[in-house]
Amino acid sequence: MRVLDTFAELANERPDTLAVLGDDGSYTWRELHEEVRALAARFPARALIATSLCSGRAFVATALACFQSGAILFPLPHTAKVGEIDRALAGRLPDALITERDDLDHLTGLRFTPFAAKKDTWSGISRPHVGSSLPAATAMVQLTSGSTGVPKALLLSRDNIEAGIEGSTSFLERFARRAVFVTMPMFHAMGGAVTFEHLSFGSPIIASDRFVPGEHKKRMLAHQCALICGAPSYFRLASRMKLFPLEGLEAAQLGSAPSERALLETLHGHGLEPHLRYGLSESFGALTRRAWTPNHIAGDIGEPLGDAKVKPLPNLDDDPAELVVRAGAVATSVWLPGNEIQSLVDSEGQLHTGDLARADGAAIRLSGRQSQFIKSQGHRIDPSEIEQLLCEHPSVNEACVVAIPDKLKGNAIVAIVEGNVDDKELRARVKESLSAYKAPSKYRIVESLPRTPAGKPDRNACRELFLSPK
């Protein structure tokens, strides 16, 4: 794998320069190489190695050791409650668990705390490997966010990982061997992909799961970060707390959720080049990427990257259709409870994404999610359009728009808003910008939205929150 070749090469060329820095400490390229080699010697091929770690040196070393030894990496959310992890695993217990947590011993009899004196007491795995029941090509089990239900366990191969990195080569080359700041958790599909993508091109990874603007600014300046990667919610908060502009920081890569124009204009005004990244939990890395400019049209996510091919889409004047894609980066199977392996793609090897889109020449124009569209009073409504408008208010951190049952309308549109704002201001903003049938009938202002372990708004929990008494 390219990422293995690169970090081994840099261990010789630049042994004492920084490779990764997280909330758990740092490694130089030589230290990372030595730790990976030591861990890989303990990981049998086909063993299923779960992690529950913060973003940083431990996660990176463990992941690379799995790739090197032929073990299967299974990242679990490090902030999730025990019950949430149990539900995500659904009985799929790993061969070993690498974590600093002390509340997950029930998951496996082979708990291993890395990067501490305790590690020398762990000699390896002697029982039959759970991973042996998975397809031979499996290199990683990737959980979806679970924002609309129970997370799915997707099986990614080495070829999927390599194809995802290859498709982003031109973008990654621009930042090769220059520090990149990663704000997404590494267990997350985007956070993990961004980390391995840039490591493959020799970029030191500076990471943090905790939103501490002063510390983030200090790290980015100290290590001359050229690029920062994260979700729109991070950039909204960072902008409001005056984190930007920042000397040496050239670009911002946004993904995992739609980004409203006001946010992108703000980043652009601070001298950052915004890059919109479209990817899926069902694949590795970005499937499209678009550099944002002031004449950008909402929903335009650019052209497919690498070998990705999209089923022909309707023109802009027609109703959108589901985005169906075939790409080397797309996982082909999902691991179900009961040890059943199910195909993730259709008979032609295409993934049905659930996203609606139109064709804008060779580019793709997104129009929302099939599963999230709301049918109200005979209208088909995209909640993301309303959410983006609400998020443009300076006192709104994030918004989640869902439907609740209504005797007259069938479904009523409601909005859960994270921030410090009067709902009268939000009503006025929506009335001015959107048709009346799109306006939420009720608002609930909260200090913090319910979230999945991956940090996305949990739509089911938001709906329940609105239905519950205040």
Neighbours of 293 (CB within 10 A): 10
Query: For domain 374-467, which architecture applies?
Result: 2-Layer Sandwich (3.30)
Residue ranges of the alpha helices (H) in 129-212?
A: 158-167, 169-174, 189-199
- 469: how many CB neighbours lie within 10 A of its CB? 3
- Please, what's the largest Cα pairwise distance for the chain? 70
SS3 letters across 278-340: EECCCECCEEEEEECCCCCCCCEEECECCCCEECCCCCCCCCCEEEEEECCCECCEEEECCCE
d(CA 330, CA 371): 20
Q: Is the pLDDT of residue 100 over 70?
A: yes
Between 369 and 178, residue with greater pLDDT: 178
How confident is the model at residue 117, as a pLDDT? 32
Measuring CA to CA, which residue among 374, 235, 360, 387 is closest to residue 304?
360
The CATH class of the 2-360 domain is alpha beta
The model carries a pTM of 0.84
What band does 367 get if pLDDT is binned at 50, 70 and 90?
Answer: confident
The 8-class DSSP code of residue 373 comes to -
Q: Which stretch of 138-147, 319-328, 417-426 has the lowest confidence by average pLDDT?
A: 138-147
- pLDDT at residue number 124: 54
Count the alpha carbons within 13 Å of 210 in the hemisphere toward its beta carbon.
9
Which residue would you say has higher pLDDT here, 109 or 326? 326
Q: What is the pLDDT of residue 121?
A: 44
Average pLDDT over residues 2-13: 94
Closest CA to 96 of 73, 115, 118: 73
pLDDT of residue 332: 87
pLDDT digits (tens, 9 = 90+) for 140-157: 999 886 555 567 899 999
What is the Cα–Cα distance from 403 to 100, expressed in whole angstroms?
39
CA-based nearest residue to 401, from 434, 366, 356: 434
Region of poorest pLDDT, from 25-29, 56-60, 147-151, 282-286: 147-151
248: left (phi over 0), alpha (psi -120 to 50) or beta: left
Type of residue at 245: P
User: Which has the closest alpha carbon to 146: 450, 358, 352, 405?
Assistant: 450
Q: What is the pLDDT of residue 149?
A: 56
CB-CB contact of 240 with 421 (8 Å):
no
Calpha distance 265→250 (Å, rounded) = 15
Q: Which of 207, 171, 140 is nearest to 1 (CA)?
A: 140
User: Where are the chain's structural domains?
Assistant: 2-360, 374-467
What pLDDT does residue 146 have?
58
d(CA 63, CA 162): 15
- What span, in angstroms and rounded, lies between the C-alpha atoms of 357 and 337? 32
Residue 127: the pLDDT is 59
Average pLDDT, the chain: 89
Q: What is the pLDDT at residue 108?
A: 63
User: What residue type is assigned to position 131 of the chain?
Assistant: G
Alpha carbons 53 and 33: distance in angstroms, whole number: 19
Least confident of 124-138, 307-321, 407-421, 445-459: 124-138
Element (H, E) at 10: helix 2-13
Residue 89 binned pLDDT confidence (cut-offs 50, 70, 90): confident
Q: Is the pLDDT of residue 372 over 50?
A: yes
Which residue is it, tokens 């997104």?
Answer: 366
**What is the arrangement of strands in the sheet containing 251-254, beginning at the earlier edge strand?**
25-28, 18-22, 205-207, 180-182, 227-230, 251-254, 273-279, 286-291
- pLDDT confidence tier of residue 80, bands split at 50, 70 and 90: confident
Detail the DSSP E strand segments found in 5-152: 18-22, 25-28, 48-52, 72-75, 96-99, 111-112, 138-143
- Summarize the confidence of residues 78-104 as an average pLDDT: 83
> How do residues 239-275 score in pLDDT, each as one tens digit?
989 999 999 999 999 998 888 899 999 999 999 999 9
Question: Cβ distance 87 to 123 under 8 Å?
Answer: no
* Residue 469 identity (one-letter amino acid): P
pLDDT for residue 70 = 95
| Whether the Cβ atoms of residue 213 and residue 243 lie closer than 8 Å to each other | yes
- pLDDT above 90 coverage of the chain, percent: 65
Task: Match 């999902």 to its residue by tokens.
Answer: 334
Question: Could you tell me where the DSSP H helices lie in 41-157?
Answer: 57-69, 82-89
Q: Do domains 2-360 and 374-467 have the same CATH topology?
A: no
Residue 120 is predicted with a pLDDT of 46
